[in-house]
Chains A and B, each alone.
Chain A
Amino acid sequence: MRWVKKVAFWLLLAVIAVYTLFPFYWAIVSSLKTGSALFEVSPWPKEPAWSNYSAVFTAQPFGQNIFNSVIVATAVVVLSLVLGLTASFALARIEFRGRKLLLVSVLAVSMFPQIAVLSGMFELVRWLGVYNKLPALIVSNLILTLPFTVWVLTTFMRELPKELEEAAIVDGATPWITVSRVFLPLMGPAMATTGLLAFIAAWNEFLFALTFTQSDSVRTVPVAIALFSGGSAFETPWGLIMAASVIVTVPLVVLVLIFQRKIISGLTAGAVKG
């Protein structure tokens, strides 16, 4: 009966693989179809329409949208890491009154529903004069990335050996030197992981982008894809939408596959190790 178990197991694996990969595969297939071919359900188009991919960039400023997403995500990541690094040192390595409360607050902020800060944020963006400009997104996305960056970096910071710090103190190092010279080099992998997770969160962000940007030239990728319209006369441009989706997804998938282990350790650091 052992072979039945084996077959069942491999069947399960196959089902898992199909389940996770099918929509992505279907998006690729659809992106290569155009016109009436879209209305047929076939596993691979008879004549792959690579033109969809170039049409994506001419139908609307998709290249600009990708660029905007890159700028916003990068800026957010840099800011979060810089702020998070120093904050996590304080929270992880120094005992002081109010530390517990601060940690709880940081965790609490990461639970805020975006909609709960939307009206206040709208006012803030307007006051700063950055409505319909990228800085609006950079500022607002911090609420998404800063808390968990601080949280995860704190978790990693805690793991660093006490002895290093003690040696530095003995040598007369100020806390700043301890952070920048002793710990920073060791936090490399942790920063990479957190940076990656923050990048993905900022890249994905939708509600703020939907509310604070209007012009095509300022839009980021998620909003551009959600509002993709203006197709040619006849059909809703599903082929183009799928092509745009694939364009955006492939680099992310590649990124995630390369950094699998880091991502997994980052995701679990916050939750499981607590």
Chain B
Amino acid sequence: MKKVLAGLVAVVALATPGLARAEKLVIACGSVGKEADLCKQGAEAWAKKAGHTVELMSVPQDAGQQLAQFQQLLAAGSSDVDVIRIDVVWPGLMANHFVDLKPYFPDDVLSQHFEPIVKNNTVNGKLIAIPWFTDAGLLYYRTDLLEKHGQKPPTTWQELAASAKAVLDAEKKAGNSKLVGFVFQGKAYEGLTCNALEWIDSFKGGTIVDQSGQVTVNNPKAVEAITFFAGLVGNVVPKGVLNYQEEEARNAFQAGNAVFMRNWPYAWSLANSKDSPVAGKVAVMALPKGGPDGKSTGTLGGWQLGVSKYSKNEKLAAELVKYLTSAEEQKRRAIEGSFNPTIKSLYKDADLLKANPFMGNLYETFVNAVPRPTITGAKYNQVSTEFRNSVYSTLSGKGKAADNLKKVETKLKSLGKDGKW
């Protein structure tokens, strides 16, 4: 009986040459709540259309841990994942493991995206990933609390600290003991690098390592910036922030327990969702300047989609990437999850602007976001870790900013001798 069945199957298979086999693709995209849902929906929509299946691989929440996992996976030459979501600072670190996507993306498609990001994703002439969404650090604040206590949205960090203190003092007197002034990402991970870079840049203290590869982190403005923020820890910034990543900060803010929060745009749609205690009471603006002579800035974030060199279905994986990074999908993700598109024309789309007005009036912030020093190439991870560790030590009271920044300068200089990385 078995033989007959096998024979029948063989005949059917031979007789229907046009029927392509249903392949299974694995994609590693975000694991944090909404983002994972959106990714899943997008991937499944493509799968249905294309007649294949897509499975999601879960990844750790911490970007640094994700990097470690991917490095191991790719170093092992594993074909267990096809499409990988990579951070804007990783192309230099992982270039050898990815497929050149130029053959699959004609120029007219590529030119729809922001050029700097496409350039960022091109390593030695190889286009290793397509931009998926872009990010910049923003300041969230409670409109109701500021109004109640006669405070205006701050234009400098110093004003923010003063406002936060004023609101805190008044609220504590009224019995609200849970409220804190300002929350951000203070745990010693990549998120702290982003936050600290914003602080330094907002005081016009440079970008750790400049465009030509010279180490600039130890300068008076940078020291001033880090000292200022270290001083906030323990009064308007609770010590617990030293263990916060994005979600912890968002939880505190969304539960109504923080006056100010620094976070990425994704928190906007969540803060305004129907079961959020602060829905309708929050506003978002560009980060404050570091004093009247400073500048308003935000760290460039954002993620891209690349195809692993070891994938068994390169062509299909490229198709999946094409679908997910298309204008239609990027618009959906922007409206439902506040993920900033990388396609320029979408910033004029009426529906998108209705859901996320800040994407219109903060356009300049996104376009001029300060990038992290990826000039350091394969050593970026180490540079970032040394930098953020010195900031973390200062924030947690271990040493003054001046000493810690001097130490990290020495270390970075030994890593990138004469600006050669």
B254 and chain A: residue at smallest CB distance: A234
Contacting residues, chain A, for B210 (C-beta < 8 A):
none
Contacting residues, chain A, for B33 (C-beta < 8 A):
230-234
| Per-residue interface assignment for chain A, residues 150 to 165, with 1 indicating a CB less than 8 Å from any chain B CB and 0 otherwise | 0000000000000000
Top 3 nearest A-B pairs (CB, nearest first) are A131-B76, A230-B31, A126-B76
A131 touches B251 (CB 8 A): no
Asked if B52 lies at the interface with its beta carbon under 8 angstroms from chain A, I say no
Q: Which of B37-78 contact A (CB under 8 A)?
A: 57-58, 60-61, 69, 72-73, 75-78
Contact of B273 among A60, A211, A229, A233 (CB under 8 A): A233
Asked if B110 lies at the interface with its beta carbon under 8 angstroms from chain A, I say no
Contact of B72 among A60, A122, A215, A235 (CB under 8 A): A122
B57 and chain A: residue at smallest CB distance: A215
| Per-residue interface assignment for chain B, residues 246 to 274, with 1 indicating a CB less than 8 Å from any chain A CB and 0 otherwise | 01100100110000000000000010010
Asked if A227 lies at the interface with its beta carbon under 8 angstroms from chain B, I say yes
Asked if A105 lies at the interface with its beta carbon under 8 angstroms from chain B, I say no
Asked if A68 lies at the interface with its beta carbon under 8 angstroms from chain B, I say no
Residues of B within 8 A of A (CB): 26, 31-34, 36, 57-58, 60-61, 69, 72-73, 75-78, 80-81, 247-248, 251, 254-255, 270, 273, 275-276
Contacting residues, chain B, for A215 (C-beta < 8 A):
26, 57, 80-81
Contact of A234 with B275 at beta-carbon distance under 8 Å, contacts A132-B73, A214-B78, A215-B26 already known: yes
List 27 A-B residue pairs with CB atoms under 8 Å apart, sorted by A's residue number: A122-B72, A122-B76, A125-B76, A131-B76, A131-B78, A214-B73, A214-B80, A214-B81, A215-B57, A215-B80, A215-B81, A216-B57, A229-B32, A229-B58, A229-B60, A229-B61, A230-B31, A230-B32, A230-B36, A231-B33, A232-B33, A233-B270, A233-B275, A234-B254, A234-B275, A234-B276, A236-B248
A230 and chain B: residue at smallest CB distance: B31
Q: How far apart are the CA atoms of A216 and B57 in the complex, in Å?
A: 6
Total residue contacts A-B, CB cutoff 8 A: 60
| Per-residue interface assignment for chain A, residues 202 to 216, with 1 indicating a CB less than 8 Å from any chain B CB and 0 otherwise | 000000000100111
State the Cβ distance, B241 to closest chain A Cβ, in Å. Answer: 15
Contacting residues, chain A, for B26 (C-beta < 8 A):
215
Q: How far apart are the CA atoms of A230 and B35 in the complex, in Å?
A: 9
B36 touches A227 (CB 8 A): no
Q: How far apart are the CA atoms of A84 and B343 in the complex, in Å?
A: 63
B70 and chain A: residue at smallest CB distance: A214
4 further A-B pairs in the complex, CB-CB below 8 A; given A131-B78, A227-B58, A236-B251: A126-B76, A214-B78, A230-B33, A231-B33
Contacting residues, chain B, for A131 (C-beta < 8 A):
73, 76-78
State the Cβ distance, B17 to closest chain A Cβ, in Å. Answer: 33
Q: Which of A221-241 contact B (CB under 8 A)?
A: 227, 229-236
Q: How far apart are the CA atoms of A229 and B276 in the complex, in Å?
A: 20
B254 touches A132 (CB 8 A): no
Q: How far apart are the CA atoms of A269 and B179 in the complex, in Å?
A: 56
A236 touches B273 (CB 8 A): no
| Per-residue interface assignment for chain A, residues 121 to 151, with 1 indicating a CB less than 8 Å from any chain B CB and 0 otherwise | 0100110000110000000000000000000
Q: How far apart are the CA atoms of A131 and B81 in the complex, in Å?
A: 12
Contacting residues, chain A, for B78 (C-beta < 8 A):
131-132, 214
B248 touches A216 (CB 8 A): no
Q: How far apart are the CA atoms of A236 and B32 in the complex, in Å?
A: 9
Contact of A230 with B58 at beta-carbon distance under 8 Å, contacts A214-B81, A236-B248 already known: yes
Contacting residues, chain A, for B32 (C-beta < 8 A):
229-230
Q: How far apart are the CA atoms of A231 and B32 in the complex, in Å?
A: 7
Q: How far apart are the CA atoms of A222 and B72 in the complex, in Å?
A: 19
Contacting residues, chain A, for B77 (C-beta < 8 A):
126, 131
**Best-surrounded residue of A125, A231, A233 (most CB of chain B within 10 A):** A233
A133 and chain B: residue at smallest CB distance: B80
Contacting residues, chain A, for B60 (C-beta < 8 A):
227, 229
A60 touches B76 (CB 8 A): no
State the Cβ distance, B295 to closest chain A Cβ, in Å. Answer: 34
Contacting residues, chain B, for A122 (C-beta < 8 A):
72, 75-76
Q: How far apart are the CA atoms of A231 and B34 in the complex, in Å?
A: 9
State the Cβ distance, B338 to closest chain A Cβ, in Å. Answer: 13
**Best-surrounded residue of A60, A125, A132, A229 (most CB of chain B within 10 A):** A229
Q: How far apart are the CA atoms of A171 and B77 in the complex, in Å?
A: 57
State the Cβ distance, B349 to closest chain A Cβ, in Å. Answer: 25
Contacting residues, chain B, for A233 (C-beta < 8 A):
33-34, 270, 273, 275
Q: Which of A91-133 contact B (CB under 8 A)?
A: 122, 125-126, 131-132
State the Cβ distance, A62 to closest chain B Cβ, in Å. Answer: 12
Contacting residues, chain B, for A235 (C-beta < 8 A):
251
A224 and chain B: residue at smallest CB distance: B58
Q: How far apart are the CA atoms of A131 and B80 in the complex, in Å?
A: 9
Contacting residues, chain A, for B69 (C-beta < 8 A):
214
Contacting residues, chain A, for B76 (C-beta < 8 A):
122, 125-126, 131-132
**Best-surrounded residue of B76, B77, B80, B251 (most CB of chain A within 10 A):** B76
Q: How far apart are the CA atoms of A232 and B33 in the complex, in Å?
A: 5
B31 touches A214 (CB 8 A): no
Q: How far apart are the CA atoms of A235 and B255 in the complex, in Å?
A: 10
B37 and chain A: residue at smallest CB distance: A233
Contacting residues, chain A, for B57 (C-beta < 8 A):
214-216
Q: How far apart are the CA atoms of A132 and B61 in the complex, in Å?
A: 20
Contacting residues, chain A, for B255 (C-beta < 8 A):
39
Contact of A211 with B72 at beta-carbon distance under 8 Å, contacts A231-B33, A232-B33, A233-B273 already known: yes
State the Cβ distance, A216 to closest chain B Cβ, in Å. Answer: 5
Contacting residues, chain A, for B273 (C-beta < 8 A):
233
A235 and chain B: residue at smallest CB distance: B251
Q: How far apart are the CA atoms of A131 and B247 in the complex, in Å?
A: 31
A132 touches B31 (CB 8 A): no
Contacting residues, chain A, for B247 (C-beta < 8 A):
236
| Per-residue interface assignment for chain A, residues 12 to 40, with 1 indicating a CB less than 8 Å from any chain B CB and 0 otherwise | 00000000000000000000000000010
Q: How far apart are the CA atoms of A172 and B344 in the complex, in Å?
A: 89
State the Cβ distance, B211 to closest chain A Cβ, in Å. Answer: 35
Q: How far apart are the CA atoms of A9 and B36 in the complex, in Å?
A: 54
State the Cβ distance, B147 to closest chain A Cβ, in Å. Answer: 25
**Best-surrounded residue of A39, A125, A131, A230 (most CB of chain B within 10 A):** A230
A214 touches B251 (CB 8 A): no
A132 touches B80 (CB 8 A): yes
